[in-house]
Amino acid sequence: MADATAPLHALVAGELGQPAPEAARRLSEEIRRRHGASLAAVVFYGSCLRKQTHEGVLDFYALVDSYREAYDSRLLAAVNAVLPPNVFYLEIESPLGTLRSKYALVSTRDFERATAPEALRPSIWARFCQPSVLVYARDEAARQAVAEAATRSIVTAVAQGLSLLPGEADTFSIQLDDFWQNTLRETYAAEMRPESPETIRSVYLAGPERFDRAARAGLDVLMERGWLRWRDEGDRVFVELAAAARRRSARAWRRRRPVRKVVYLVSLLKTAMTFGDWLPYALWKLERHTGTHIDLSERQRRHPFLWGWPVFWRGLRRRDLR
């Protein structure tokens, strides 16, 4: 790896190597049981990791060698290959009580591709520029693949975040807390996810020193690549980056916005097919993040595909799901 990347890779590897909580280990074992020898790695991330709790729904990514080998169903393998990832709900009983999780299944190759700046959707690099824990790795190759993808996620987040800042100047200074919150806000909006400013701020405040260290390391990588120059100014950083390059990157981000929304809605439909009892979960998630409560009729509960979608359209119109 390039010299400038080594400190960032070390940061990420240290985070991934932290001991996984017992709840995450138990759920990971069930994911392994479901998908067998094709499973290369299970990565734990998200709000339950930040809060160090097993209350709520734990979030995982499961990386596999082959979609065909990961499933008994050819249909599930096919839709996973066409529009990764597939998302599943998993609930188990344990000495800790009922453990609930959702996990996204994706091939290692697709996972790596999704951390690059040219990825259509920011969902993977936006998640893995944040801390995560490697609960299971089949071997050293799988461990390294996850570490390199997470490292690339931070570099992508820093590069994209700079291009999404307001202003046209070639030189500018930024506060890193504002930078990260703006970047996260843009990525959540791109995924049409209902996250409040307080929630976005809480992501940064869960590890401000870590995020600032990751940003500085990412800036070093981008400077080594000749994309920018930067210097530290204490609680701020001063960046020299051609305005034309920022505009090109920002235009590319905006051009992809309509396509991302279509892909998101198609993905939502696909997740409804794989997830299980998806509508009550989705409305619980909506209420948790926005405070908006929606009661379901018995007909909507029994036939969510037929009658549940108007609930989502109503939420979209009110911008609850943006």
Confidence tier at 321 by pLDDT (50, 70, 90)? very low
Q: Tell me the C-alpha to C-alpha distance, in Å, between residue 237 and each of 170, 233, 300.
A: 14, 5, 51
Per-residue pLDDT at 285: 62
Kindly tell me if the per-residue pLDDT of 248 is higher than 80.
Answer: yes
Q: Residue for token digits 């998993």?
A: 90
DSSP 320: T
Query: How many percent of the chain have pLDDT more than 90?
Result: 67
Q: Who's near 65: CB < 8 A, 6+ residues apart?
A: 38, 40, 107, 108
Exposure class string for 54-93: b at 16+ Cβ within 10 A, else e: beebbbbbbbbbebeebbeeeebbebbeeebbbbbbbeee
CB count within 10 Å of CB 210 equals 14
Q: What is the DSSP string of 28-64?
A: HHHHHHHHGGGEEEEEEESHHHHHT--SSEEEEEEEE
For the chain, the domains span 5-255, 257-317
Query: What are the structure tokens assigned to 215, written together?
Result: 């940003």
Least confident stretch, 67-81, 98-112, 299-313 = 299-313
In angstroms, rounded to a whole number, what is the distance separating the alpha carbons of residues 47 and 51? 6
What are the φ/ψ torsions at residue 207 (nearest 5 degrees)? Answer: -165, 65
Mean pLDDT, residues 78-93: 93
In angstroms, rounded to a whole number, what is the distance separating the alpha carbons of residues 101 and 88? 8
| Fold designation for 5-255 | Beta Polymerase; domain 2 (3.30.460)
Per-residue pLDDT at 268: 79
pTM, 2 dp: 0.86
Mean pLDDT, residues 297-321: 55
Which residues pair with residue 59 across a beta bridge? 45, 102
Kindly tell me if the per-residue pLDDT of 134 is higher than 60.
Answer: yes
Per-residue pLDDT at 265: 83
Kindly tell me if the per-residue pLDDT of 313 is higher than 90.
Answer: no
- Beta strands 97-107; 236-240: pairing state: unpaired
Per-residue pLDDT at 215: 97
CA neighbours within 13 Å on the CB side: how many for 83? 15
Per-residue pLDDT at 322: 40
SS3 state at 121: coil
Per-residue pLDDT at 208: 96
